[in-house]
Structure 1
Amino acid sequence: MQENTQNIMSGTENLDFNVLNWDWNNMSDKIFTYGLQTIGAILIMIVGFWLAERLSKIIIIGLRRPNISISMLNFIKSLISIIFKVLVLLVALSTVGFEVTAFIALLGGLAVGVGMALQGSLSNLAGGILILLFKPFKIGDYIQSLDKKGTVTEITVLQTVLLTPDMRTVILPNGNVFNNPIENYSKHGMRRVEIKIGIGYDDDFDKAKEILLEVFKNEPLILDEKDYVLEIDEFGDSSVNLAMYGYARAENYLKAKWKLNRSAKKALDENGFSIPFPQRDLHLVTVDNKKAQFKINQENN
């Protein structure tokens, strides 16, 4: 028994304790180094993100122009801030020894995957950027797009919001808006007001023209800097149809049109003109009874 115990003790003495021995000095150095790198990366991110916000604001201040909309400036600011923050993140990751090239490759793969999944949204994003750049319309304009009419109340990078005259909100995707015809009724600040009215074939056209032009001149919503036009538009079945054109501020278009219709009808009535309506003349022809009976007998034979 004693001999076995001595053998075990002697075998234990021959073990290589270096295998189990931790290099605590080396480990502490590594912890200290990684700790400093991590702290440095955190400081880089804090300072870098703050600088990204400041720089994006400074750039936007420099880009401010009367012809650049607030929506466009906000979008550019967000884009610049994101780019700066991504660069700061890459610098911070490289500080802790992260392989930046692998991270960029990962971002590229994610971008391709997300792009395929969000193809429609990216199309709307591109449309929003183009709308903000080329400005086919702005907030407050009355437009028609995708068979929808309304006043533009909001323009984002993904969608355009309209408010219709009957107070309905319509949301249009920017991709479809930019890739289809857009009618902007407010672009030039004024709209042509068109009135069509008929007079009888026996009525005096020159007199009617004088009366109706006076109606245009007396209407304060019709702009004086634009000429009025009043001519015969067509010859109808029961009337001579006149066309009258004038211009009003875009925001006064409907009000001006309604007032002109009312004033034109009243002025023509006061001067003895009647607005014709479709009518048919019925002519009764009588024939001699004997001739009619003879004709019937001939047809029967």
Structure 2
Amino acid sequence: MDWNKIDEYLQLATDKVVFYLPRILLAIIIFWVGFKLVQKLVELLKKGLEKTGFSETLRPFLASTVGAVLKGAVLFIIATVLGADLTGLFAILAAAAFAIGMALQGSLGNFASGILILTLKPFKVGDWIQVDDKFGRVTEIGIFSTDVLTPGNKILIIPNSMITESVVTNFTEKGMIRLELEVTMPYEESFPKVERILCTALKDVEHILDEPKPEIGILNFDSHNVQLTVRPYVKPDNFWEVTFNAHKAIKNAFHSHNIKVAYSEGVEIGKIGE
């Protein structure tokens, strides 16, 4: 047995233990203290975001993201204390991040748009909005898309990037919306008379707001009729109910007062049935 070799190995092992043991103990302390500190910071962040009225959808995501980043920083410090060379790891992570970013370019755009929507709050859940020609009530605002319920009871899943790149009309922001109703009257009829009939008819329609008052005017002239516009104001939730009831009330009023119209089949004046 070569005792010199054994002594050499024991000395080498002792040197390694003396060299690494303090570092391992320090790494354990950093791990324990660091993760406890991260947990406290995440809890403080959640409370702070809640007090400032930050989006309920975004709060858990931000808290978990910040927690993951801070925990990653703690692990990085531990690896540095232990003497690990992280240069190669960083190169691999950078290449992987670039590849993932290119593959998920559209999703990342929706993600960034979702962060903007949840932070700036151009609308909230329950608001009636219109994005391009898509109209409905917002039911959910997600990180990647926004769900909108149409009056026809269909769910539209709109990518958030489409929302931030388009003109968004928020009908709920002001607490009211103006209906755009169009009716016609014959040229021989008196506009002041028809205007009074329309005003009276609208007063009997439930949910039409008294202020601002409904607007009634001549919109255009065609070959057969005078085109009128009727613009009452309603709350967004009553949009379709008032639209249908207002058309019904106007038709009944025209029938009661014998207001005639030109049918599309010709230029002859005909009566309106009940």
Scaled to the shorter chain, the TM-score interval is 0.7 to 0.9
Superposed, 1:2-21 pairs within 5 Å as 18-19=4-5
Larger radius of gyration: 1
Matched residue, 2:149: 163
Following the alignment from structure 2 to structure 1, what is the Cα–Cα distance between the partners of residues 20 and 26?
A: 10
Task: Give 2:192's aligned amino acid.
Answer: D
Q: Is 2:60 aligned against 1:85?
A: no
**2:139 is the alignment partner of 1:184:** no
Q: 1:214 corresponds to which residue?
A: 200
Aligned-partner residue type, residue 154 of structure 2? R
Amino acid at match of 2:151: P
- 1:9 counterpart residue number: none
Secondary structure of 2:38's partner?
Answer: helix
Pick which of 212-221 and 16-25 moved more: 16-25
Aligned with residue 135 of structure 1, among 97, 121, 124? 121
Deviation of 1:136 (Å): 2.6
CA distance in 2, matches of 1:238, 1:255: 30
Distance change (3 Å), C-alpha of 1:40 and 1:117:
farther
Aligned residues: 268
Whole-Å separation in 2 of the counterparts to 1:46 and 1:274 = 86
Residue 238 of structure 2 is aligned to residue 252 of structure 1: yes
Q: 1:256 to 1:43 in 2, by over 3 A?
A: farther
Please, which of 174, 178, 181 is the counterpart of residue 195 of structure 1?
Answer: 181
Counterpart among 38, 41, 61 of residue 47 in structure 2: 61
Answer yes or no: is the 8 Å Cα contact 2:130–2:136 preserved in 1: yes
Q: Report if the CA contact (8 A) 1:238-1:279 is conserved.
A: no
Kindly provide the amino acid, as one letter, of the partner of residue 137 in structure 2. Answer: T
Per-residue deviation at 1:45? 3.2
Answer yes or no: is the 8 Å Cα contact 2:171–2:177 preserved in 1: yes
> TM-score with structure 2 length normalisation?
0.82
Which segments of 5 or more consecutive residues in structure 2 lack a partner in the other structure? 269-274
Kept in 2, the 8 Å contact 1:127–1:175? The answer is yes
Rate the CA distance shift 1:30–1:79 in 2: closer, same or farther, 3 A: same
Measure how far apart 1:101 and its partner are. 5.2
From 229, 235, 239, the counterpart of 2:215 = 229
Q: CA deviation at 1:66?
A: 6.1
1:106 and 1:45, CA in 2 relative to 1: closer, same or farther beyond 3 A?
farther
Question: Residue type matched to 1:187 in 2?
Answer: E
Unaligned regions of 5+ residues in structure 1, if any?
1-14, 283-301
Contact conserved, 2:224 with 2:267, CA < 8 A, in 1? no
Q: Letter of the 1:156 partner, please give it.
A: G
- What's the CA shift for 1:217? 2.7
CA root-mean-square deviation: 3.0
Query: Structure 1 counterpart of 2:42, which letter?
Result: S
Select which of 105, 109, 112 maps to 2:98: 112
Contact 1:235-1:241 within 8 A present in 2 as well: yes
Alpha-carbon distance in structure 2 between the residues aligned to 1:163 and 1:280: 41
Partner residue of 1:48? 34
Pairwise CA distance, 1:256: 0.9
The separation in 2 between residues aligned to 1:172 and 1:152, in whole angstroms, is: 10
TM-aligned CA deviation for residue 244 of structure 1: 1.0
Do the aligned residues in 2 keep the contact of 1:197 with 1:275 (CA within 8 Å)?
A: no
Deviation at 1:281, TM superposition (A): 6.1
More divergent stretch after superposition (201-210 vs 109-118): 109-118
In structure 1, what is the equivalent of residue 271 of structure 2? none
Aligned counterparts of 1:33 and 1:171: Cα–Cα separation in 2: 59
Instruction: Report the TM-score, using the length of structure 1 for normalisation.
Output: 0.75
Change (3 A) 1:262 1:149: same
- Find 1:150's aligned residue among 120, 124, 136: 136
